[in-house]
Amino acid sequence: MNPEDFEKNINHFIKERKYKKSECLVPYTMRNKCKGKIVKAHTIPKMCLKKISQDGHLFGFIKGMIPEVNYNKLSESIDKKAIEPKKIGIKEASIFTGFCQKHDNELFKIIEKNYGNFNCKKEECFLYSYRTLCREFFLKKIAKDDLKYLINKTKDGIQEWLLLRSVGIEQSIKDLEYYKNTFDNILRNRDYKNFKSLIVLFDRIPSVMASGASIPIYDFGGNRFKEIENFNKVPDIIFYNIVSYGEKGYAIFAWVEDSNKSESVAKKFVQSLRNVADSKKTDAIISFLFASCENIYFSPYWWSKLSENKKNILSNIFYKVVSPIEDFPDFSKIYIDNCFDDWNFSGVSDI
């Protein structure tokens, strides 16, 4: 399909997307205890977002659950802003309608209600990752419904591209179903034996916060993982959350360890983060987030202090995350030559 042809038509379809789906995503055995309405659950705690907000607003690319992408600029030069962050109210930042009131309050109370005290325990890291997984699973199912709708509204080249896209979405849902079942078992049994986390500690509140899940394609050294080309196996997924408690920051990277693998992709990925110089860990994580995660929000003050060149670099690498015609970027090439911020690295903790 010609990218220009896609660009001319996609805006109409994007406007017709419907995001009215809602359900409680706790394990099926817990759903008979659901109570209250489905709520707009924040994947990044509201109190964390408040820390980096100005007048109740942050910068981000998603209002609610929809990426704010200007598809008319898909073919513009890399020097121009193909996508720009928007001012977004805290109430609309990092939300999804995936839990009932009862389970949203009860499941996540130790990370939501105990604000100011993060103990770096497995249960805390797991709950962050579980909520991240549920959001990813929830939105992929919405994307599947969107594609069905769009396929029926299109024809020729665009329809062909959408059909290919739907195959990828179907595979993503299958992979996420595997992890959802695995995480549901962990949640029910409170058995965290195979759940692993690496927490990067900072003495400052991160200017960028995010919650997402990604199949690692490149590590922090710019090495491409060959394992991703094996489509017969469930891929390793990294779950990550960048949050703050008190005046400190925590970058949580989590995964499920497979006892049958001598060294997983996930383990190699976090090891490559360890290998990044301490003075560059902030830049490395910021680059990774903009290159991997659409559920990302950042301080308006921090953004205003960046040079136009750095804003363009980050905006354009984020564009590749949401663009239907771009390959996943090698983010290591960005942080090596740029200083975006310094959250004052203070250590690493294995959980």
**Proportion of the chain above pLDDT 90, given as a percent:** 62
Mean pLDDT of 227-237: 81
Distances in Å between the Cα of 17 and the Cα atoms of 46, 324, 325 are 26, 16, 19
Cβ-contact 275, 332 below 8 angstroms: no
- For 2-30, what is the mean pLDDT? 65
The pLDDT value given to residue 99: 96
Is residue 21 over pLDDT 70?
yes
**Tens of pLDDT, residues 148-184:** 777 777 776 677 777 777 787 888 899 999 999 999 9
Mean pLDDT estimate for the chain: 85
Question: Cα-flanking dihedrals φ and ψ of residue 251, to 5°?
Answer: -105, 105
Model-level pTM greater than 0.75?
A: yes
Structure tokens given for 234: 């469930």
pLDDT at 202: 97
Stronger pLDDT, 209 or 22, i.e. the higher one: 209
Q: What is the mean pLDDT of residues 221-239?
A: 86
pLDDT at position 293 over 80: yes
Determine the pLDDT at residue 324. 58
Query: Is a pLDDT exceeding 70 seen at residue 70?
Result: no
Q: Which of 18, 37, 161, 170 is nearest to 103 (CA)?
A: 37
- 96: containing domain: 3-350
Mention every residue, 6+ apart, whose C-beta is less than 8 A from residue 12: none
Residues 190, 182: Cα–Cα separation, whole Å? 12
* Number of domains, the chain: 1
Tens digits of per-residue pLDDT, 119-149? 889 999 999 999 999 999 998 888 888 777 7
| Tokens (6 digits) for 264 | 């997983």
